[in-house]
Structure 1
Amino acid sequence: MSAPTSGGYQPQAPKPESPKPLQSPRFDVARLRFISIIGATTALLLSAVTYVWAFAKGVDFVRLLFVEGLSSDPALVKLFESIDSILIATVLLIVGFGLWELFVHDLDLPQSLTTTSFGQLKRQTAGTLFLVLVVRFLEVSITRPQPDELIAQSISTALVGGLLIVFSTWPRTP
């Protein structure tokens, strides 16, 4: 049966579609920030492993104290190595949490681990790495190196440490 053409039922023309926002075929670049999850997770896992490694060095330090006595230079070197590992693990922890907070989501962390900018993350990392350099210098000085070796170590520690501090606090121009 056909529809009458006059005075009867007339099919309605389809309504025009409402305009859709322009859809770009380009990839949403903002989602690339989530790739930092890989870096943050890696830093946090390495931090945990390094803390365990520092604990093992601490146990070795205690063992050396019992075997060689309280005035043992090798035991003191082990102690500084343990402190060094703890500082490195802390750097990794700061970097891991910092990357997560900057690129993924805010975390409920103590103020000392909270990161609000990349510059702050850089300063925290540089400060801790400076401590690592100082501890390394103490490790070398305990082994009683030759004077020229000690002077070279002192100068290199001061230069690298100074550069770390300068570049981490250098003001960025927009």
Structure 2
Amino acid sequence: MTFAKNDRSGPEPSKREWFSEMIGRTRFVVLIAVIAVLLVSFSLFLQGTLLALNTIYETWRDMFAQGVASQSGTLAVEFLEVVGTMLKAVVFYLIGIGLYSLFIRPLNLTSALGVESLADLEQKVVSVVIVILGVTFLEHFIRWEKPLDTLYFAGALALAGGALVLFQQVHKGSGGDLQQPQAKLRARRELFEHDQEQREIGEQEVQRAERVTEAKAAGRIPAESGSE
């Protein structure tokens, strides 16, 4: 994805424009979080890979030495631990690339994954966390060491998972960043293509917002819909 260079020729910016430019540039501090989160993600991916290789080696070694009976009940748990580690790595990876795309430079990868806003990022992360909870419970269920503790654990995970699912349903399709696609697209274009930090609100936008407010008050459009 290529971006047009901003034409710096013209009158000198005013003090207000200079201050807005400086405030807008503070978004690059997010790079610190992006680098840290991606390092955690890569570390988890590496640990998961090593854990997978070690598990594969040990299971085949035990199978050749002791037969198929040596794998009863433990094989699934060991590989589920690998899956859990990889899913945790995916969570941090989504957060890292999502923050980079939202604050630094838009990526085609995040668009392909459906991450176009902070609300989208929350939804994706919560979805993976729910899967991690399910995998964690499955590990305990397969072990079945203490049935009563497993039951308590299942209840706790059910409450946590239910709360996360409820959070997804409540916030699904809501939020100003999801309800104003044209304004968001225009702002991203001005920021990333024209390197313009300060946003100007035109008269047409004000009139459009007034019309939408009147339409909501009259009940012609749903109250939760956006202004565009």
TM-score by length of 1: 0.78
Select which of 22, 37, 43 maps to 1:49: 43
RMSD: 2.3
Change (3 A) 1:127 1:100: same
1:114 Cα deviation (Å)?
Answer: 4.6
Determine whether 1:128 maps to 2:120.
no
- 1:173 CA displacement: 6.3
Given that 2:119 and 2:175 are in contact with CA atoms closer than 8 Å, whether structure 1 keeps it comes out as no
CA deviation digits over 1:116-171, x for unaligned, max 9?
11111000000001111111111111221222111111111111111122223423
Q: How far off its partner does 1:59 sit?
A: 1.2
CA–CA distance in 1 between the matches of 2:98 and 2:175? 22
Once residues 175 and 26 of structure 2 are traced to their aligned partners in structure 1, the CA distance between those partners, rounded to angstroms, is: 25
Name the residue aligned to 1:167. Answer: 167
CA contact (8 A) 2:73 2:142 kept: yes
Instruction: Specify whether residues 93 and 21 from structure 1 end up closer, same or farther in structure 2 by C-alpha distance, changes over 3 A only.
Output: closer
The corresponding residue for 2:53 is: 59
Q: Give structure 1 stretches of 5+ with no counterpart.
A: 1-18
Match of 1:6 in 2: none
Measure, in 1, the Cα distance between the counterparts of 2:53 and 2:175: 48
C-alpha spacing 1:66/1:156, structure 2 compared with 1 (3 Å) = same
Distance 1:161 1:112, change over 3 A: farther
- In structure 2, list runs of 5 or more residues that go unmatched: 1-10, 177-228
Which of the pair has the greater relative contact order for Cα pairs under 8 Å at 6+ separation? Answer: 2
- In terms of mean alpha carbon deviation, does 78-87 or 161-170 score higher? 161-170
Contact in 2 for aligned 1:65/1:72 (Cα 8 Å): no
Per the TM alignment, residue 61 of structure 1 is displaced from its structure 2 partner at its CA by: 1.6
> Cα deviations across residues 34-65 of structure 1 (Å, max 9, x unaligned)?
11111112222211111111111111221231
Same amino acid, percent of matched pairs: 24
> Between Structure 1 and Structure 2, how many residues are aligned?
156
Q: Which moved more, 1:85-94 or 1:68-77?
A: 68-77
Structure whose CA Rg is larger: 1
- Cα distance, 1:26 vs structure 2: 5.1
Question: What one-letter code is carried by the residue in structure 1 that aligns with 2:47?
Answer: W
Which one of 15, 19, 37 corresponds to residue 23 of structure 1? Answer: 15
TM-score relative to the length of structure 2: 0.61
SS at 1:73's partner residue? coil
- Deviation string 1:94-114 (CA, Å, 9 cap, x unpaired) is 111100111111113165435
